[in-house]
Amino acid sequence: MNRLSLLIALFFATTIISSAQHEPFDVTEDWIQKIETLAPDAPEATPSKSRKILVFDKFTGFNHWVTPHTSQVIRVLGEKSGAYESEITQDVFCLEAANLAKYDAVVLNNNCSIGPRRDLILDLLDEDKSLSEEQKKKKAKELENNLIEYVKNGGGLIVTHGAIVMQNNSMPFSEMIGGSFDYHPRQQEISLELCDPDHPLTKAFNGKSFVHIDEPYLFNKAYEKKNFRPLLYMDTDKLEGKRQPIEENIRYVAWIKKHGKGRVFYVSPSHNAQSFEKENLLKFYLDGIQYAIGDIECDDSPIEL
């Protein structure tokens, strides 16, 4: 085999391997048991009291195949470590103020809304034909405000991957999370770097960057203020398929922040369930959830621009 033929063969072999690494598959008991084996045995911080979180994983827009896997990962992390109990729902009325008050934190799991309106709550209320347009808009705003006020008053919020799109045109929602979705180039191998290897919430990675296949999310709106403490970043100079050159090449993909009295953890990884088959990412999720709940104290002050 000549050099050119060898290079072509290696290219196609790499492509096949990469494709296999992010091929969708259903949640199975075997896979859940695998996650249970890899998940931390104990939490980083002992809970100050019994904790309960709500996982909301309803979507109306893009169907991230990893959504049910992520919900199970979050459930397993809490059950195995004893850090919290979790409840999973797809009922939008879980955002009623009286219901939110039952939980220490809320997880928004890949709640993608339909474009271009980008209002998942209104998408779901549209299904109720007994409501007028004005009633639906009023109720949608009420439920969104309930979540924002819940966090402002001390509730925790964990936002995974595509859930940042949930109320993507709402500036109050964007300010609570720390940004809104702009777009992403195609899925590809991404090297994620640690913003601060000594930060308690990057402890899971033992000071080392890691590579995985993902959608490299880019953000806008409140992201421009960078009113958060970044945890992971990517160098966009290394990305393929960008719409245009990116002047600010360092882009953050995971961060924590205060919002009023509450705490927010945003984590873009991952679009693929295979990424959860790594102990370090599982620990990173658990530590981030414990931060949002209030059991891990760490520096969450915004970076200096």
The reported pTM is: 0.92
Q: Is residue 302 part of a domain?
A: no
Q: What is the largest CA-CA distance in the chain?
A: 70
Residue among 52, 179, 64, 69 nearest 106 (CA):
52
Q: In one letter, which amino acid is 233? A: Y
Q: Is residue 33 part of a domain?
A: yes
For CA atoms 24, 287, 54, 142, give the dihedral sign. Answer: negative
Number of structural domains the chain divides into: 1
Contacts of 248 (CB under 8 A, 6+ apart): 236
Q: Is residue 15 part of a domain?
A: no
Q: Is residue 14 part of a domain?
A: no
What's the rounded Cα separation, in Å, for the pair 271 and 162?
Answer: 8
What residues make up the domain containing 259?
Answer: 27-293
Q: What is the pLDDT of residue 64?
A: 97
Q: Which parts of the chain fold into alpha helices (H)?
A: 3-21, 29-38, 67-81, 97-100, 120-125, 133-152, 171-177, 279-293
Q: What angle do CA 189, 77, 273 make, to 5 degrees?
A: 30
> Would you call 201 helix, strand, or coil by DSSP?
helix
Q: Is residue 300 part of a domain?
A: no
Q: Is residue 17 part of a domain?
A: no
Q: List, as one string, the DSSP characters of 269-295.
A: --SSGGGGSSHHHHHHHHHHHHHHHTS
> Would you call 93 helix, strand, or coil by DSSP?
helix
Q: What is the pLDDT of residue 9?
A: 42
CATH number of the domain encompassing residue 280 = 3.40.50.880
Residue among 266, 298, 279, 265 nearest 205 (CA):
279
> Would you call 117 helix, strand, or coil by DSSP?
coil
Would you say 53 and 77 are in contact if contact means Cβ atoms under 8 Å apart? no
What's the rounded Cα separation, in Å, for the pair 247 and 143?
Answer: 37
What's the rounded Cα separation, in Å, for the pair 239 and 236?
Answer: 5
Q: What is the pLDDT of residue 16?
A: 39
> Would you call 219 helix, strand, or coil by DSSP?
strand
Q: List, run by run, the mean pLDDT of 10-residue segments along the chain (305 residues).
A: 46 42 91 98 97 98 97 98 98 98 98 97 96 96 98 98 98 98 96 97 97 96 97 96 92 98 97 96 98 98 83
Q: What is the pLDDT of residue 305?
A: 63
Query: Which two structure tokens, joined as six digits, stand for 42?
Result: 């104990």
Residue given tokens 């109050």 in the structure block: 172
Peptide bond between residue 230 and the one before it cis (omega within 30 degrees of 0) = no
Q: Is residue 168 part of a domain?
A: yes
Q: Is residue 261 part of a domain?
A: yes
Q: For residue 202, with 0-12 CB atoms within 10 Å meaning exposed, 13-18 middle and 19 or more buried, which class applies?
A: buried
